[in-house]
Amino acid sequence: MSVVGARPNFMKIAPLHKAFQKYPSISHRIVHTGQHYDANMSRVFFDDLELPHPDVYLGVGSGSHAVQTARIMVDFEKIVLAEEPNMVIVVGDVNSTLACSLVCSKFLIPVVHVEAGLRSFDRTMPEEINRIITDSIADLLFVSERSGLTNLRNEGIPDSKVFFVGNVMIDSLVHFKEKAARSTIRKALGVEGKQYAIVTLHRPSNVDVRDNLASILSMLDKISQRQTVIFPVHPRTRKMISEFKLGERLLSNANLILCDPLGYLEFLCLLESASLAITDSGGIQEETTYLGIPCFTMRENTERPVTVSEGTNTLMGFDYEKTAVEAETVFQGNYKKGRVPELWDGKTAERITKEIANKLLLN
């Protein structure tokens, strides 16, 4: 049984679901906790990634970390008791990852954590707590980059539980790259054949502080004077722009294109042709590294250090003025080129399912 809760999870479960089809003796079921409150966007992602509709949908919705985690635990416990899964797969670092791992650990159901070992070493991030606790109780830990091996070893996780397999999200990118290229989103937004930057920002440190959000919008205004900026606005970000009454400056700038959150294929299509990505998301740091697109991450740390040491990612902290200046440098063709990290080859799901099948079928 695999658990998805928020959109980043879908890109990681989709390749695993496909890979499990090679093992007819293993039944793979998908539980969607409904942690992500935009049901329409969830459906779009399932369709884009050619996933079957989830076998179980819990519909827990949004809430504080405590409320959301508790709801997931209560509802997922009922599913575990009814279904009696032999093994549960959790991915990433969202509240669903932690909640379902805790439930399974109480019932002695083996937990598999895909994307284990990533650390920002910043415990003010809720995701960091989720990562640490999930890894401490997981039975099989699949690691996407070598920093994860070091982190888990330092935390006392036995090597026998840990497997370096590469990045399963890159499997989705490799598989759907050609399909995404057929998207009409560039034409729809009026940027076909043009250069543009793409922006995604949603973390509280960037958008919940009025001065920071105002500085971000000022930064985007400056960058858009040089090149078109496409900004799919996260619901949280849109809410804060409205609360802080910062929307007027956006409406007056024709070179700053605001749109609703996009499906996976539409966003991948835009990302592949972008001259620059500006983000505070984890997954986009990885996707841009694979695609060779320069990426500015508006955070002071990252749990994906290989994107900085080997890839195209640069940590910008909260220096929005510097980011605008550096964007001009990128537009002139001067940026870190990077390379694709080890085992980011589109075959990670095959390696993971092989290990899981060995474990299940031997038992």
CATH of the domain at 21: 3.40.50.2000
Examine the domain organization and report whether 103 and 38 are in the same domain: yes
Please, what sign has the CA dihedral across residues 245, 251, 255, 257? positive
Examine the domain organization and report whether 63 and 100 are in the same domain: yes
In a domain, 264, yes or no: yes
Please, what sign has the CA dihedral across residues 167, 169, 175, 178? negative
C-alpha 278/C-alpha 314 separation (Å) is 10
Please, what sign has the CA dihedral across residues 68, 125, 336, 343? negative
Which residues pair with residue 231 across a beta bridge? 258
Whether residue 36 has pLDDT greater than 90: no
In a domain, 246, yes or no: yes
Examine the domain organization and report whether 13 and 133 are in the same domain: yes
For 279, the domain range is 177-331
Could you report the per-residue pLDDT of 45-56, keeping only the tens digit for each?
888 999 988 999
C-alpha 178/C-alpha 123 separation (Å) is 38
C-alpha 296/C-alpha 292 separation (Å) is 13
The most distant pair of C-alpha atoms in the chain lies apart, rounded to whole Å, by 63
In a domain, 101, yes or no: yes
Q: How far is CA 236 from the centre of its chain?
A: 16
Examine the domain organization and report whether 93 and 182 are in the same domain: no
In a domain, 18, yes or no: yes
Mean pLDDT of 295-308: 98
Could you report the per-residue pLDDT of 161-199, keeping only the tens digit for each?
999 999 999 999 999 999 999 999 999 999 999 999 999
Reported as a pLDDT band with limits 50, 70 and 90, residue 44 is confident
**What mean pLDDT value characterizes the chain?**
95
Amino acid at the residue 118 = L
In a domain, 337, yes or no: no
Whether residue 326 contacts residue 314, with contact meaning beta carbons closer than 8 Å, is answered with yes
Q: Which is more confidently placed, 7 or 317?
A: 317
Whether residue 363 has pLDDT greater than 70: no
pLDDT for 38: 65
Whether residue 348 has pLDDT greater than 80: yes
Mean pLDDT of 187-216: 95
Reported as a pLDDT band with limits 50, 70 and 90, residue 27 is very high
Could you report the per-residue pLDDT of 232-290, keeping only the tens digit for each?
999 889 999 999 999 887 777 889 999 999 999 999 999 999 999 999 999 999 999 99
Mean pLDDT of 61-75: 93
In a domain, 270, yes or no: yes
Which residues are catalytic, by number?
A: 202
Strands (E), the chain: 2-4, 30-32, 56-57, 88-91, 111-116, 140-143, 162-164, 196-200, 228-232, 256-259, 276-279, 295-297, 313-315
Reported as a pLDDT band with limits 50, 70 and 90, residue 40 is low
Mean pLDDT of 98-109: 98
Whether residue 37 has pLDDT greater than 90: no
C-alpha 319/C-alpha 340 separation (Å) is 27
